[in-house]
Chains A and B, each alone.
Chain A
Amino acid sequence: MSQVIDDDPRIIEFDVRTDEMLVNMGPQHPSTHGVLRLVLRTDGEIVSEIEPHIGYLHRCAEKIGENISARQFIPYTDRMDYLAGMNMNLGWSLAVEKLMRLQVTEKARHLRVLISEMGRIASHLVGMGAYGLDLGTFSPFLYAFREREKILDLFEEACGARLTYSYITVGGLTADLPPGWLERCEAFLEQFEPIIREYHALLTTNAIFVKRTAGIGVLSPDMAINYGCSGPVLRGSGVDQDMRRDGEPIYTAMYDGYAFEVAVMKDGHYPRDHAYPAVPADAVLGDCWHRFFVRMLEVVQSMDLVRQAIDQYSACKGPLGEPVKVAEKIPAGDVYLETECPKGQMGFYLIGNGSAIPWRVRARSSSFSNLSVLAELCHGCLIADVPAIVGSLDIVMGEIDR
C-alpha cells in the first residue's frame, strides 16, 4: 500500500517543492482599488495563481433600474464608475435616446463632448495617481488630485456636485453652463498643460517606474480581444479601437467635426510621439507601461477635444434644449449601446415596454472584462507585480459589481 502512495507523482512533487501559501489580498488591502479580493497562491514571492473575488460592492443597480424610470436611473449610473460619473451618465442617456429616437440640440451635443472629455481627464488623473501609489510613490497621487480638484470645482459650478453629477441626462443636460465657466475651463487647461511634463518626469520616464512596469503583465492583442478588454487596456496592447470613432452612429455623430487621433501604437509610433518621452527600450507592447502611457496620451487628447468643444459650443446659438420628463414613456423595443468611457467600453442594454419604466436594464462593465484577464497576466509574477498589474488595468469596483 505504501508503495502506491510513494509512487504518486503529486507526493513526490510535494516533497521537492517548498510549501505554497494562500494569501488573501483584500478586500481591505490598500492597493486593490476598492473592495476587490484577490486570493494569491504563492511560492515565496512568486505568484503561481491568482483568483479575483468580486461582489463586495454589489448594490443591485440593474434591478433598481427595472423599477424606476429611465431618467431616474441616471444617479445610479453615477455610482457605477464613480470616478467618471459624467461618462456613465452619457452612456445611459445615449442608450435611452437611441431607443426613443431622440436627437439632442447642437449645443447640447458640444456641451456633452466638453463635459465627458473633462470627465475622462479627471478619471485618468486618478488612474495615473493611484498607479504611482501602487508602485510606492505617494507624491504623484497628490499632484494628480490637485488638478482633479480643479476639474471637480468646474463640475461643481456646472451641476452642483463633485462626484455624482447626474448632469448629462436623457434628452440633453440638466442645466446650461454658468457665465464665465468657459474662461475658467480654458484657464485650467492652460495651467494644466505644462504640468503633464512633470507627471512624465516623475512617473513615465522615471528609471524605477520603468523598471517596475516595462515588460510586466504583457497582454497580447489576441488575448486582449479574446477576453473582451477595452479602453486603454486594449489600446495599450496595440489594438486600434475607440468607440468614439468605431462605435454606433448615434455615439460617433456626437464627435462629428472633431479631430482626434486614437491613442494607440501604430508601426512603432504613438500619434504625435515627438512631443512625449520616448518608449523605453525594455517596454513591450501590451505591458503595464504602455497601458499607463496610453492613459497619459488620452489626457492630452481629451484636452484637445475640450478645446475644440469650447470653440464649437461658443459658436452655437440658441437654446440648450430641455431634457425629457422624469416620467417620460419609453417605447417598446430593446437597445444596446456601447460608449467609450475612460475605463473602456461601457455598454447599456435596456428593454422598453411602452411604459416609463424599462422592463430590463443591464450594464456591460469594461472593468469587469479588463479584470478577467488578471489571472493570465499574473501567472508567475512576483507579489510586488500584482498591484502593478491591477493598477495598470485601472479598475473601479463600483462598475464591476454594480
Chain B
Amino acid sequence: MAEYLIQTVGLPGWLTWSLLAVLSAVLILNLMAGGALVFIWAERKVSARIQDRLGPTRTGGSFGWLQSLADGIKLLAKEDLMPEGADGMLFRVAPYVSFCASFAAFIGLPFAFDMVGLRLNVGVFYVVAVLGLEVFGVILAGYASASKWSLFGAMREAAQVVSYEVPLGMCIVVPVMLAGTMDLVTIAEKQAGWFTNWYLFHDPFTFVVFWVYVTCAVASVNRAPFDLAEAESELVAGFHTEYSGLRWSFFFMAEYSSMFLVSGLAAVLFLGGWNGPVPIATLLGLSDGTGESTGAIVRLLGLANLLGKATLGVLIMMWIRWTLPRLRIDQVMTTCLKYCTPIAAVMFAGAMTWLWVFPGGVLNLDDGSRRPGEIREGWLEGPGGRSTAVSDAPVDDAPALAEIAEVSK
C-alpha cells in the first residue's frame, strides 16, 4: 500500500507513512474500543446465562446489544468526581496510562498475515513489555486516590503482576524458542497446516506450558480468581474505588482489551495464530500454505480465525470468573512462586531438550500442505552438529553413507 501511494499517487514518503500510521492507529483504537464494548456486553450476557438470569434484553433490540453503548453514554454524563486530598495530576493521568499501555500493545499483535500494526522483529518482547506497563496506571490510581482501599488494591496489583511476569515470560519464551524468532508473524506462520502443527501440540512440554500461560495470563490481567486488585468483597472496588464516569470506563476498557490481548497472544503463540485447525484455504487451492501468496479472502479467513480463538479465550476467562471464588493474596503469590514459576522453568528446559532430541518433531503428521523441501526449522542444531535440514533430506544420506563405509574399510 505504501508503494502504491508513493509510486502511483505520487505522495511524498513522509506523508504516506504518516497517513498509514494514523490509519493503523485509528483501526486498532476502534477495534479495541469496539471489542471492549462487545466483550462488556458479552460478559453481561454470559454471566447472566451462567447465573440463571437474562441479562440486558431491551437496549437496542431483543439481545440488549446496545447496552454497552448506553452505559458509555451514561458514564460520559456522570459527574466527574475527584476525592479531596487526591493527587490531581496523577489521579487524572492514571486511567490513560492503563489504557495507552494496552492500546499500544495491540500495535504488535498480528491479526492475519501482514495484518499487523507494525511488524516487529521483537514483537513478543514488545507486546509483553508494553502490556506490563498497564500496572503503572493501576498503581498510580491507587496511590493518587487518597483512599486506603485503593492503596491496598494498588499494592496487591504491584506484587501480583510483577510476580506473574516471571512465569509468563518463561512460558512465552518456549514458542519463541521453537520458532527461533521473536517476530509474532513468523511464529504464527510456522504453525501453518493442520492443527497438529500448533505449538500447543508440539510436544508434551509445550502442552503444559500453554496451561501455565493461561493461568499467568489470567493473573496478569487481573481477572478472577486473581482479581485481588479490585476484590469487591474485601477492598470495596480496589484501585478504582474513587473513580467514576469516563475515567473509570477507561480502566474498564483497558481491562477488557488486555483480556483480548493476552488471548490473542495465546492464539498466536500456541494455537496457530490465524491458521485454522484445518487448512481449508490450502485444501481449496486458494493458498499454497504460506502467507506471502495469500489473497484477501484467505487473509480475512485468517482474521476470523484469530478473532475466534481470542474471543474463545476471553469467554473462558468469563466462565472462570463467574464460577470460582477469589484466592487470597498469599495464595496468589504461592501459586505464582511455588507452582507456576518452577513448572514453567522445568517445562522450558524440557521443551529445550525435546527440541534437541527430536529436531524435526516426533509426530510426522505433515499433510504435505507445505512446499516441498520446506521443513520446520529447528532453532538448535541436532546432535552431532547436523542441521535439521540435512537430517530430513534422505537423498543426501547415500553419499555420506558410502563415505562412512569407505572410511571404515
| A contact set with B: CB distance below 8 Å | 21, 23, 29-31, 44-45, 132-139, 142-143, 146, 202-203, 206, 208-209, 211-212, 382-387
Q: Is the CB of B326 within 8 A of A135?
A: yes
Which one of B51, B152, B330, B331 lies within 8 Å of A139 (CB-CB)?
A: B51
Known A-B contacts A31-B234, A136-B225, A386-B234; the reply to A212 vs B328 at CB < 8 A is: yes
Question: Does chain A have a CB within 8 A of B85?
Answer: no
Query: A6 CA to B227 CA in the complex, in Å?
Result: 44
Residues of A close to B231: CB separation below 8 A: 136, 384
User: Nearest CB to that of B228 among chain A residues?
Assistant: A384
Distance A203 CA – B324 CA, assembled complex (angstroms)? 9
| Count, A-B residue pairs, CB within 8 A | 82
- Complex Cα spacing A136 to B227, Å: 9
Given contacts A136-B227, A138-B51, A139-B323, contact A385 B233 (CB under 8 A): no
**What chain A residues lie within 8 Å of B338 (beta carbons)?**
none
| Cross-chain contact A382 with B233 (CB below 8 angstroms) | no
Contact B148 A21 (CB under 8 A): yes
Which A residues touch B278, using CB under 8 A?
none
In chain B, residues 154-177, which have Cβ atoms closer than 8 Å to a Cβ of chain A? 155-156
- Nearest neighbor of B233 in chain A, beta-carbon distance: A31
Q: Which residues of B lie under 8 Å from residue A31 when comparing CB positions?
A: 233-234
Check B52–A208 contact: CB distance below 8 A: no
CB neighbours of B51 from chain A (8 A) = 138-139, 142-143
Query: In the complex, what distance in Å separates the CA atom of A21 from the CA atom of B325?
Result: 27
In the complex the two chains form, is B329's CB within 8 Å of A135's CB? no
B366-385 vs A: 1/0 string, CB under 8 Å? 00000000000000000000
CA distance A57 to B231 in the complex (A): 26
Q: Are B329 and A212 in contact (CB under 8 A)?
A: no
Cβ–Cβ contact A384 & B325, under 8 A: no
Looking at the complex, which one of A137, A202, A209, A387 makes contact with B234 (CB distance below 8 Å)?
A: A387
Contacts of B227 in A (CB 8 A): 136
Interface presence of B50 (CB below 8 A): yes
Given the complex, which residues of B lie within 8 Å of A133, measured CB to CB? 233
Give, as a whole number of angstroms, the nearest-CB distance from A182 to chain B. 27
Interface residues of B, CB < 8 Å — how many? 30
A45 to B234, CA, bound (A): 11
B325 touching A139 by the CB < 8 A rule?
Answer: no
Docked-complex contact B323 and A45, CB < 8 angstroms: no
Our pick among A30, A138, A384 for the contact of B322 (Cβ within 8 Å) is: A138
A194 vs chain B, min Cβ distance (A)? 15
Besides A137-B326, A387-B234, 5 more A-B contacts (Cβ < 8 Å) are: A29-B236, A135-B325, A209-B325, A212-B326, A212-B327
Kindly list chain B residues whose C-beta atoms are within 8 Å of the C-beta of A30: 232-233, 236
Known contacts: A136-B224, A211-B327, A382-B329. The answer to whether A387 contacts B233 by CB under 8 A is yes
12 contacts between A and B (CB under 8 A): A23-B149, A45-B330, A136-B233, A137-B322, A138-B322, A139-B50, A146-B52, A208-B326, A211-B328, A384-B228, A384-B234, A385-B328
Is B328 a contact partner of A384 (Cβ separation < 8 A)? yes
**Nearest residue in B to A133 (C-beta to C-beta)?**
B233
How many angstroms from the CA of A206 to the CA of B50 in the assembled complex? 17
User: In the complex, A139→B49 CA distance in Å?
Assistant: 10
Tell me how far the C-beta of B245 lies from the nearest C-beta in chain A, rounded to whole angstroms: 20
Residues A45 and B233 in contact, CB atoms below 8 Å apart: no
Q: Report how far A206 CA is from B224 CA in the complex, Å.
A: 15
- Which 6 pairs show the lowest CB-CB distances between chains A and B? A136-B326, A135-B325, A31-B233, A137-B325, A142-B51, A384-B328
Interface check B74, CB cutoff 8 A? no
Q: Which residues of A contact B232 (CB under 8 A)?
A: 30, 136
- Chain B nearest Cβ from A364, distance in angstroms: 30
In the complex, what distance in Å separates the CA atom of A194 from the CA atom of B133?
48
- Contact check, A211 vs B331: say whether CB atoms are below 8 A apart: yes
Give A158 Cβ to nearest chain B Cβ, in Å: 25
Which residue of A is nearest B148, CB measured? A23
Please indicate the chain B residues that have their CB under 8 angstroms from the CB of A202 in the complex: 323
| In the bound complex, CA of A75 to CA of B396 (Å) | 96
CB distance from B165 to the nearest CB of A (A): 21
Q: Mark B34-55, 1 if CB is under 8 A from A, else 0.
A: 0000000000000100111100
Q: State the CA gap A138–B214 with chains docked (Å).
A: 22
Task: Report how far A211 CA is from B331 CA in the complex, Å.
Answer: 8
**A211 partner residues in chain B, CB cutoff 8 A:** 327-328, 331
How far is the CB of B355 from the nearest CB of chain A, in Å? 34
Q: List residues of chain A with CB within 8 A of the CB of B156.
A: 45
Whether the pair B327, A208 counts as a contact (CB closer than 8 A) is yes
Q: State whether A384 and B323 are in contact (beta carbons under 8 Å apart), knowing that A21-B148, A30-B233, A136-B231 are contacts in the complex.
A: no
- Given A136-B224, A143-B51, decide whether A383 and B324 contact each other with a Cβ distance below 8 A: no
Q: Which residue of A lies closest to B159 (CB)?
A: A45
Choose from B50, B225, B233, B330 the contact partner of A208 (Cβ within 8 Å). B225
| Closest A residue to B328 using CB positions | A384
Residues on the A chain within 8 Å of B328, using CB: 211-212, 382, 384-385
Contacts A138-B51, A202-B323 given; does A384 touch B225 at CB 8 Å: no
Contact A383/B233 with A136-B225, A208-B327 known, Cβ cut-off 8 Å = no
**Closest Cβ neighbor of A208 among chain B residues:** B325
User: Could you tell me the distance in whole angstroms from the C-beta of B374 to the nearest C-beta in chain A?
Assistant: 46
Q: A387 vs B324: C-alpha distance in the bound complex, in angstroms?
A: 17
Q: How far is the CA of A378 from the CA of B342 in the complex (A)?
A: 33
Contacts of B225 in A (CB 8 A): 136, 208
What's the Cα separation between A173 and B231 when bound, in Å?
Answer: 45
In whole Å, how far is A377's beta carbon from the nearest beta carbon of chain B?
Answer: 16
In the complex, which residues of chain B have a beta carbon less than 8 angstroms from the beta carbon of A383? 152, 234-235
Task: Determine how close the nearest CB of chain A comes to the CB of B43; give it in whole angstroms.
Answer: 12
| B48 vs chain A, min Cβ distance (A) | 9
Chain A residues within an 8 Å CB radius of B52: 142-143, 146
Question: Could you tell me which residues of chain B, from 226 to 242, have a CB within 8 Å of some CB in chain A?
Answer: 227-228, 231-236
Complexed CA–CA distance, A210 and B325 (Å): 10
Output the least CB separation between A30 and chain B (Å): 6
The complex places the Cα of A21 from the Cα of B47 at a distance, in Å, of 36
Docked Cα-Cα span, A283 to B328, in Å, equals 17
B52's nearest neighbour on chain A, judged by CB, is A146
Q: How far is the CA of A387 from the CA of B149 in the complex (A)?
A: 14
Determine the residue in chain A with the shortest Cβ distance to B151: A21
Given A208-B225, A384-B234, A387-B234, also A137-B323 (CB < 8 A): yes
A383 to B228, CA, bound (A): 11
